[in-house]
Homo-oligomer: A and B are copies of this chain.
Amino acid sequence: MKIPTNPQGCTNLKLRQLGRMVTRHYDHYMAAVGLKNTQYALLSHVVKLGPIRPSDLAKRMQMDASTLTRNLQPMAAQGWLTVGVGENARSRLVEATASGQAVRAQGQRTWKTAQLALNERLGMERVLALHDLLDSCIAFLDEEPRDATAA
Protein backbone atom coordinates (compact mmCIF):
# COMPACT_ATOMS: atom_id res chain seq x y z
CA MET A 1 0.00 0.00 0.00
CA LYS A 2 3.01 2.24 0.25
CA ILE A 3 3.20 4.54 -2.73
CA PRO A 4 6.45 6.48 -2.66
CA THR A 5 6.04 10.20 -3.13
CA ASN A 6 9.74 10.89 -3.30
CA PRO A 7 12.02 10.32 -6.25
CA GLN A 8 13.34 6.81 -6.31
CA GLY A 9 16.10 7.27 -8.81
CA CYS A 10 17.04 9.63 -11.57
CA THR A 11 14.72 9.63 -14.55
CA ASN A 12 17.37 11.35 -16.61
CA LEU A 13 20.02 8.75 -15.77
CA LYS A 14 17.79 5.82 -16.63
CA LEU A 15 16.61 7.46 -19.81
CA ARG A 16 20.13 8.23 -20.95
CA GLN A 17 21.48 4.80 -20.06
CA LEU A 18 18.78 3.00 -21.97
CA GLY A 19 19.12 5.58 -24.71
CA ARG A 20 22.78 4.79 -25.14
CA MET A 21 22.10 1.05 -25.25
CA VAL A 22 19.26 1.30 -27.73
CA THR A 23 21.06 3.81 -29.92
CA ARG A 24 24.03 1.48 -30.14
CA HIS A 25 21.68 -1.33 -31.11
CA TYR A 26 20.15 0.64 -33.97
CA ASP A 27 23.41 2.12 -35.16
CA HIS A 28 24.81 -1.37 -35.37
CA TYR A 29 22.16 -2.18 -37.97
CA MET A 30 21.93 1.17 -39.71
CA ALA A 31 25.65 1.24 -40.40
CA ALA A 32 24.93 -1.19 -43.24
CA VAL A 33 23.23 1.60 -45.18
CA GLY A 34 25.60 4.33 -44.08
CA LEU A 35 23.13 6.06 -41.81
CA LYS A 36 23.34 7.03 -38.16
CA ASN A 37 20.17 6.50 -36.17
CA THR A 38 19.59 10.22 -35.91
CA GLN A 39 20.09 10.72 -39.63
CA TYR A 40 17.55 8.06 -40.42
CA ALA A 41 15.04 9.66 -38.10
CA LEU A 42 15.65 13.06 -39.59
CA LEU A 43 15.53 11.86 -43.17
CA SER A 44 12.29 10.01 -42.52
CA HIS A 45 10.71 13.12 -41.13
CA VAL A 46 11.84 15.20 -44.07
CA VAL A 47 10.51 12.65 -46.54
CA LYS A 48 7.18 12.39 -44.77
CA LEU A 49 6.68 16.05 -43.96
CA GLY A 50 7.65 17.20 -47.40
CA PRO A 51 9.23 20.62 -47.78
CA ILE A 52 9.31 21.87 -44.24
CA ARG A 53 10.71 24.85 -42.42
CA PRO A 54 13.67 24.07 -40.16
CA SER A 55 12.00 25.51 -37.09
CA ASP A 56 8.93 23.32 -37.60
CA LEU A 57 11.10 20.28 -38.14
CA ALA A 58 13.05 21.05 -35.00
CA LYS A 59 9.82 21.28 -33.01
CA ARG A 60 8.63 17.95 -34.34
CA MET A 61 11.91 16.35 -33.41
CA GLN A 62 11.97 17.99 -29.99
CA MET A 63 15.35 19.29 -30.98
CA ASP A 64 17.07 22.64 -30.62
CA ALA A 65 17.09 24.66 -33.84
CA SER A 66 20.85 24.99 -33.78
CA THR A 67 21.22 21.24 -33.41
CA LEU A 68 19.04 20.75 -36.45
CA THR A 69 21.07 23.19 -38.52
CA ARG A 70 24.19 21.16 -37.86
CA ASN A 71 22.60 17.74 -38.21
CA LEU A 72 21.33 18.69 -41.65
CA GLN A 73 24.78 19.61 -42.89
CA PRO A 74 26.38 16.17 -43.32
CA MET A 75 23.17 14.94 -44.91
CA ALA A 76 23.04 17.83 -47.35
CA ALA A 77 26.69 17.15 -48.13
CA GLN A 78 25.74 13.57 -48.93
CA GLY A 79 23.07 14.88 -51.29
CA TRP A 80 20.21 13.31 -49.38
CA LEU A 81 18.39 16.58 -48.87
CA THR A 82 18.49 20.23 -49.74
CA VAL A 83 18.08 23.31 -47.59
CA GLY A 84 16.64 25.82 -50.05
CA VAL A 85 15.15 29.25 -49.68
CA GLY A 86 11.58 29.59 -48.45
CA GLU A 87 9.12 32.40 -49.01
CA ASN A 88 10.97 34.95 -46.98
CA ALA A 89 14.63 35.62 -47.34
CA ARG A 90 15.11 34.53 -43.76
CA SER A 91 13.13 31.29 -43.90
CA ARG A 92 14.25 28.06 -45.52
CA LEU A 93 12.73 24.84 -46.73
CA VAL A 94 14.18 21.40 -46.18
CA GLU A 95 13.37 18.79 -48.78
CA ALA A 96 14.53 15.25 -49.51
CA THR A 97 16.23 14.56 -52.85
CA ALA A 98 15.56 11.47 -54.94
CA SER A 99 18.76 10.03 -53.59
CA GLY A 100 17.60 10.80 -50.07
CA GLN A 101 14.31 9.05 -50.64
CA ALA A 102 16.11 6.00 -51.95
CA VAL A 103 18.41 5.88 -48.96
CA ARG A 104 15.45 6.34 -46.68
CA ALA A 105 13.68 3.38 -48.30
CA GLN A 106 16.75 1.22 -47.73
CA GLY A 107 17.02 2.53 -44.22
CA GLN A 108 13.41 1.70 -43.52
CA ARG A 109 13.98 -1.96 -44.29
CA THR A 110 17.06 -2.02 -42.13
CA TRP A 111 15.26 -0.18 -39.37
CA LYS A 112 12.53 -2.77 -39.35
CA THR A 113 15.08 -5.51 -38.82
CA ALA A 114 16.59 -3.59 -35.93
CA GLN A 115 13.19 -2.90 -34.41
CA LEU A 116 12.11 -6.53 -34.66
CA ALA A 117 15.35 -7.66 -33.08
CA LEU A 118 14.75 -5.27 -30.21
CA ASN A 119 11.17 -6.45 -29.87
CA GLU A 120 12.44 -9.99 -29.54
CA ARG A 121 15.03 -9.15 -26.96
CA LEU A 122 12.68 -7.14 -24.79
CA GLY A 123 9.41 -8.85 -25.57
CA MET A 124 6.61 -7.25 -27.52
CA GLU A 125 4.52 -6.42 -24.49
CA ARG A 126 7.33 -4.54 -22.86
CA VAL A 127 8.09 -2.59 -26.01
CA LEU A 128 4.47 -1.61 -26.48
CA ALA A 129 4.19 -0.53 -22.87
CA LEU A 130 7.36 1.47 -23.22
CA HIS A 131 6.11 3.17 -26.36
CA ASP A 132 2.86 4.15 -24.68
CA LEU A 133 4.67 5.57 -21.73
CA LEU A 134 7.22 7.44 -23.83
CA ASP A 135 4.51 8.89 -26.05
CA SER A 136 2.53 9.96 -23.04
CA CYS A 137 5.54 11.64 -21.40
CA ILE A 138 6.49 13.39 -24.62
CA ALA A 139 2.94 14.68 -25.02
CA PHE A 140 2.86 15.96 -21.44
CA LEU A 141 6.18 17.75 -21.63
CA ASP A 142 5.33 19.09 -25.05
CA GLU A 143 2.16 20.95 -24.23
CA GLU A 144 3.48 22.62 -21.11
CA PRO A 145 5.92 25.28 -22.24
CA ARG A 146 7.49 26.59 -19.05
CA ASP A 147 6.56 27.14 -15.41
CA ALA A 148 4.06 24.87 -13.73
CA THR A 149 2.54 25.30 -10.30
CA ALA A 150 -0.69 24.17 -11.89
CA ALA A 151 -3.17 22.75 -9.43
A contacts, CB < 8 Å to B: 3-5, 7-23, 25-26, 37-38, 41, 61-63, 111-112, 114-124, 126-131, 133-138, 140-142, 144, 148, 150
Contact = CB atoms under 8 A, between A and B. Distances in A.
The 7 closest A-B pairs by CB, nearest first: A7-B115, A14-B134, A17-B62, A12-B26, A19-B19, A21-B141, A13-B41
B134 A121 contact: no
A61 to B, nearest CB: 7
Contacts of A144: 121
Nearest to A14: B134
B7 A11 contact: no
Chain A contact residues, majority secondary structure: helix
A135 B61 contact: no
A138 B14 contact: yes
Contact of A8 (B14, B123, B128, B140): B128
Given A16-B41, A41-B10, A138 B62 contact: no
